[in-house]
Chains A and B, each alone.
Chain A
Amino acid sequence: GAVVSQHPSWVICKSGTSVKIECRSLDFQATTMFWYRQFPKQSLMLMATSNEGSKATYEQGVEKDKFLINHASLTLSTLTVTSAHPEDSSFYICSLISLEDSNTEAFFGQGTRLTVV
């Protein structure tokens, strides 16, 4: 399957600062990547779809001005949490879709644990 590298694996930041999370596809050119958020003991919730060369598509209830997504190349998507607050503390995971013989499988990065203090 596709190899997805996410960086950093964890970050602690002060309230009010911004944090950038990178998601790289190491062996695959991904025109589309997805960003998920997972709170403790809960499932993954899709935040947005990142499209290479165009604007991201955000799910209902996700603030696009707060969660900035940039998909500048086929191997890199970044999520920037702007003006972070403690309630933004969560586990953020990116994924990409691999298309083989028209079957789609989603592969995930190792996740980034964000703690806002």
Chain B
Amino acid sequence: GQQLNQSPQSMFIQEGEDVSMNCTSSSIFNTWLWYKQDPGEGPVLLIALYKAGELTSNGRLTAQFGITRKDSFLNISASIPSDVGIYFCAGQTGTYKYIFGTGTRLKVLA
């Protein structure tokens, strides 16, 4: 099935550092969502983006909907150990279906 390209695939960072990850596609999407998934759990919605160019924050998280509608990035500032997990982007196609990115596995070193 179709997937979005997400990078980096994994990253190790020190506690307190900022993190940036992005998602790109060859297709245009109407909505971008960012999720965090802990082991053995379903994804939890972090941020939703609805308009090209939109920049939205949720606490230490900031995400932007690319102006071309083909990409999005997620930033995490001042990372803490509980930020560890897998982060997925998801793009919405025209019929409410979401296509997921390949995931970024984040590990925070205390």
Contacts and interface: CB of A to CB of B under 8 A. Distances in A.
Interface of A: 1, 4, 6, 32, 34, 36, 42-46, 49, 59-61, 91, 93, 95, 97, 103-111, 113
Contact of B40 (A46, A106, A111): A111
Nearest to A112: B42
A110 B101 contact: no
Given A59-B1, A103-B31, A103-B48, A34 B41 contact: no
Interface of B: 1, 3, 31, 33, 35, 40-45, 48, 50, 88, 90, 92, 96-103
Given A105-B45, A108-B43, 6 more contacts: A32-B96, A46-B99, A49-B97, A60-B1, A104-B92, A111-B42
B103 A43 contact: yes
Main secondary structure of the interface of B (DSSP, over half): strand
A106 B33 contact: yes
A93 to B, nearest CB: 5
